[in-house]
Amino acid sequence: MNGAESLVHTLIACGIDTVFANPGTSEMHFVAALDRIPGINCVLCLDETVASGAADMYWRTKGRPAATLLHCGPGLANALANLHNARRGRSGIVNIVGDQATYHRPLDAPLTADTEGWARPVSGWVRTAMTADAVGHDAAEAVAAARTGTIATLILPADTAWTEGGVIGTPQPVPPRPTADASAIDAAAEVLRSGEPALLLLGGRTLTDATLRIATAIVQTTGAKMLAEMFNARMERGQGRPPIERIPYQIDAAVHSLEGIRHLILVEAKPPVGFFAYPGKKGRLWPDDCTVHTLADIGQDGVAALQALAERIGAGTPEIAVTPRPAPAKEAIAPETVATSIAALLPDDSVVIDEGISFGRGFSRFTHGAAPHLWLQVPGGAIGGGLPGAVGAAIGSGRRVLAIQADGSAMYSITALWTMARCNLDVTVVILANRKYAILLHEYANVGANPGRTAMDMLDLGHPDIDFVRLAEGMGVAAAQAGSMEKLNELMAASFERKGPFLIELLT
C-alpha cells in the first residue's frame, strides 16, 4: 500500500465520500488510488475555484466535509477566493493539494511555489505530509479538524503518494463545541429583563428552524429584537419557519437597522461592521451608547446557549406567523416581482444559492412565504461563489438547487456549468443579466461623480453583451432567455420539473 492508497482508505474510514477534483501530474498516484479503491465520488471541476466553492456548499448542505484535489501552489491559488468564503462561513473542507516530491522541491522547478504560505491565511489546519507512512495519520487529523468547521489543508508531495509503506489513519473523535459561559447567559438574561432596547444578533449554526423558534420565543417574551448577520452561510427559511431579517449591506441602512439599540447580544455572530469603510461613515454599526454582549462566541454552541437563555427568562411557545405563499408575479421585471415568483414557485425543501449581488439584494424579505428551503449566501464576499456552490449544494443535498446569480459575478466561475451538465445536477440557474457591474455604478455615484468613458469602460458589461444562453449550451446546459415575468415563471416552473441543470438568462 503506497501513501496515496493509505490516504484514500483513511478518507473513506473517516466518512469522506466526495472529492471535488482538478488534478495534475503530481496527483496521478492519488488519482490511481481513487480509481482502485471504490467509495469516493470524484467530481471533476474545470478549474480550482469550482472545486473549492463546491466543497464549501457541500459542507453547508451535508454537514460533513468533502475533500478537494488541487494541483500545486498555483492550483491552490486559484481555489483561494472560494476558500476565503468557506473560511468566513466556517465550512469544513479537507483541502488536499498535491505538490512537488519532497526531494524535488529544493530544485525549484517551474511550478514550485509557496504552497504552505498561500494555504495558511485560509486554513485552520495546515500540514505537509513528509513521508508515505505519515500520510494516513495526517489525513485522519485533517478530517478531524475539518469536521469542526475549518479548512484543513493537507499538502501531499508526489513521493509521499507513490512510496510504499502507507498506514491507514484511525478516525479521530470530533470534540463537541464548547458551551457558552454561564456568566454570559446570566448577563444576557439580565439585559433582557432590564427592558432596555436589546437585539439578538444571530449567526453561525443558530439560523435553523428549531433554533429560530427558541430565539423568537425569547424576543416575544422580552420585547427584544432579532436580526441575522449581513451574510450567512446557511439559513433555514420559508413558510412556517420563523422569519428573520438580516443586517442590510448598504451602510446607511445597516446603521439604521441598529439605531436605538442599547444592548447588542451576539450569538455565534461577530460584532457587526460595514462591509467596506466609507468616508465620514461609521465602521462599527452599533450605536455609541450600545453595549455589546457575547452570549456565545463564534466557536461556541449558540444553540445550547439560546436554549439556556430561554429557560432562564421563562420564554413561552413562540407564535410563528405564516406568510402566505404568493402567486407568481406578472408585472414588470423588478427585484420584488422576481423574488415574488421565486417564493411562488420554489419547490419544497430546495436550496437557494444567493449571489444576486445588487439586483438580488432584497429578495430575502419577499421570500418568507416560499416553501421551506435552505438559503445560502457567500459569506466572505469574494465574488464567484455562487455557481460552484450550486454544484456542491446539489451533490451535498440531493435536492433542487436554485442559483440566483448576478451576471458579472457569474463570469468568475462560469465553468461550474460544465460540471452541472456532466453530473446532471438538478440546478436551476437564474442569471440576473443587467449587463453592468451595478453594485459598482452605485458605489461610483457615492464617490460623487458621473462616470466618464474610462470609468464606464470598467463598470459596464455590454459591448459585447454576454450571451449566457450560448455559454450554457457551450458547456452542455440547456438554457433560455426570459424578457418578461411570464416567461421567467414558465421557464422556472418547467426547470423545477425536469432532471438536470437549466439556465435562465433574465434580462433585468
User: CB atoms < 10 A from the CB of 210, how many?
Assistant: 12
Question: Which residues have C-beta within 8 Å of that of residue 73, sequence separation ≥ 6?
Answer: 97, 99, 111, 112, 113, 114, 115, 118
Counting Cα atoms < 13 Å in the Cβ hemisphere of 158 gives 15
Binding residues among 305-334 for a second copy as defined by CB under 8 A? none
Nearest distance, CB of residue 374 and a second copy, angstroms: 20
Extended strands (E) in 407-445: 427-433
Binding residues among 210-249 for a second copy as defined by CB under 8 A? 230-231
Counting Cα atoms < 13 Å in the Cβ hemisphere of 345 gives 24
Binding residues among 396-455 for a second copy as defined by CB under 8 A? 408, 411-412, 414-415, 418, 421-422, 437, 439-440, 443-444, 446-447, 449, 451-455
Binding residues among 467-486 for a second copy as defined by CB under 8 A? 467-471, 473-476
DSSP letter at 281?
A: S
Q: Which of 182, 210, 277, 327 binds a second copy (CB under 8 A)?
A: 277
Q: How many residues are there in the chain?
A: 508
Nearest distance, CB of residue 255 and a second copy, angstroms: 14
Joined together, the cell numbers standing for residue 344 give 411562488
User: Judged by CB under 8 A, which stretch of 54-62, 199-207, 269-277, 331-339 contacts a second copy?
Assistant: 269-277
Nearest distance, CB of residue 446 and a second copy, angstroms: 7
Binding residues among 134-193 for a second copy as defined by CB under 8 A? 158-159, 162
Question: Which residues have C-beta within 8 Å of that of residue 98, sequence separation ≥ 6?
Answer: 23, 24, 26, 27, 30, 69, 70, 71, 72, 155, 156, 157, 158, 161
Q: Which of 1, 13, 64, 74 binds a second copy (CB under 8 A)?
A: 74
Q: Which of 265, 344, 433, 459 binds a second copy (CB under 8 A)?
A: 459
Binding residues among 359-388 for a second copy as defined by CB under 8 A? 379-384
Specify the residue, 119 or 310, whose C-beta has the smaller distance to a second copy: 119
Specify the residue, 347 or 451, whose C-beta has the smaller distance to a second copy: 451
Q: Which of 15, 63, 121, 314 binds a second copy (CB under 8 A)?
A: 121
User: SS3 sequence, 134-172?
Assistant: HHHHHHHHHHHHHHCCCEEEEEEEHHHHHCECCCCCCCC
499 sits near a second copy (criterion: CB under 8 A): no
User: Judged by CB under 8 A, which stretch of 140-148, 313-321, 361-369, 462-470 contacts a second copy?
Assistant: 462-470
Specify the residue, 121 or 483, whose C-beta has the smaller distance to a second copy: 121
Closest by Cα among 211, 483, 475 to 338: 483
- Percentages of the chain per state (helix, strand, coil), in multiples of 5: 40, 20, 40
From the number of C-beta atoms within 10 Å of its C-beta (0-12, 13-18, 19+), residue 153 rates as buried
Specify the residue, 10 or 239, whose C-beta has the smaller distance to a second copy: 10
125 sits near a second copy (criterion: CB under 8 A): no
Question: Which residues have C-beta within 8 Å of that of residue 200, sequence separation ≥ 6?
Answer: 215, 218, 219, 224, 225, 226, 227, 265, 267, 295
25 sits near a second copy (criterion: CB under 8 A): yes
Q: Which of 64, 213, 270, 361 binds a second copy (CB under 8 A)?
A: 270
259 sits near a second copy (criterion: CB under 8 A): no
111 sits near a second copy (criterion: CB under 8 A): yes
Q: Which of 62, 213, 262, 284 binds a second copy (CB under 8 A)?
A: 284
Nearest distance, CB of residue 39 and a second copy, angstroms: 10
Counting Cα atoms < 13 Å in the Cβ hemisphere of 233 gives 28
8 Å CB contact between 48 and 26: no
8 Å CB contact between 313 and 218: yes
Q: Which of 7, 11, 31, 93 binds a second copy (CB under 8 A)?
A: 31
Pattern 79-108, binding to a second copy, x per CB under 8 A? -xx--xx--x-----------xx-xx--xx
Amino acid at 78: N
